[in-house]
Amino acid sequence: MKWNAELYDDKHAFVFQYGESVLELLVVKAGERILDLGCGTGHLTKKIQQQGAEVIGIDASPEMVAQAKENYPELDFIVANGADFSFDEPFDAVFTNATLHWIHDADGVIKSVYKALKPGGRFAGEFGGKGNVQLLLAATATVLKKYGYAKDNNINPWYYPSTAEYATKLEAGGFRVTFATHFDRSTLLQDGRDGMAKWFNMFGSSIFKGVPATELPQVLNEITDLLQPTNEVDGQWYADYKRLRFIAIKE
């Protein structure tokens, strides 16, 4: 997927703003060497450095990495595949926020992270958990089926495991899971009703690949109408996020 890094920083800042609380999972110690997996535009990478660590950010998107370098030229950012990367020097910790739901090869991620960590090193982070944005996806499936652009409800392009499923993978990959939780985090969108179409445009373009550009506004408008009873409260619009947070230690 091609990212619009400027729009991401401007209208979807909630991704890294919510991510600041995810950083608490990491408990950075001064002098540690830390990898930020899925660094996006680099804002949390910078926070990690400000907490005293030596940090490298990786992201699969060249657009995001270019923006991260522009935002923080003093930091190291590299384009790399989160499911297949390696470094010569090991890390004390790998941190990740709002990234792992984009990578279906979860075993590849876990294998790469395991190899990149020192013994006893930690892997900590958050991503979309089972049921994430299920209201958004259900409304989208309904409208796409109505227009003949989807055959069934099976339109989710993301990886949203349950806590048990992901913890099992981590354990199979050689980690001891010391913390795992799944919770609702309704996420406020910017720009009121328009925020819903903007969310889909930013993150969900792959779902609408078959929809002609001329029809897309109408399709998004109908999806938004369907979501109004559940996702609008007092003029504010929300996405029904469900998060999975974890800490795992390399054994």
Q: Two tokens at 143?
A: 């409208």
Instruction: Candidates 40, 57, 128, 173: give the one binding ligand BEZ (CB under 6 A).
Output: 128
Q: CA 205, 241, 182: angle at the middle one, nearest 5?
A: 130
Taking CB under 6 A as the binding criterion, the range among 77-85, 117-125, 127-135, 137-145 that sits at the site for ligand BEZ is 127-135
Window 69 to 98, contacts with ligand BEZ (CB under 6 A): 98
d(C-alpha 25, C-alpha 230), whole Å: 31
Taking CB under 6 A as the binding criterion, the range among 56-64, 128-136, 144-152, 189-197 that sits at the site for ligand BEZ is 128-136
Q: How many angstroms separate the Cα of 83 from the Cα of each of 45, 99, 104?
A: 19, 11, 9
Beta-strand runs (E) in 71-221: 76-79, 91-97, 117-128, 175-188
Window 137 to 196, contacts with ligand BEZ (CB under 6 A): 158
- Residue closer to ligand BEZ (CB basis): 53 or 197: 197
Taking CB under 6 A as the binding criterion, the range among 43-51, 88-96, 126-134, 139-147 that sits at the site for ligand BEZ is 126-134
d(C-alpha 178, C-alpha 9), whole Å: 32
Instruction: Candidates 123, 203, 237, 238: give the one binding ligand BEZ (CB under 6 A).
Output: 203
- Residue closer to ligand BEZ (CB basis): 101 or 245: 101
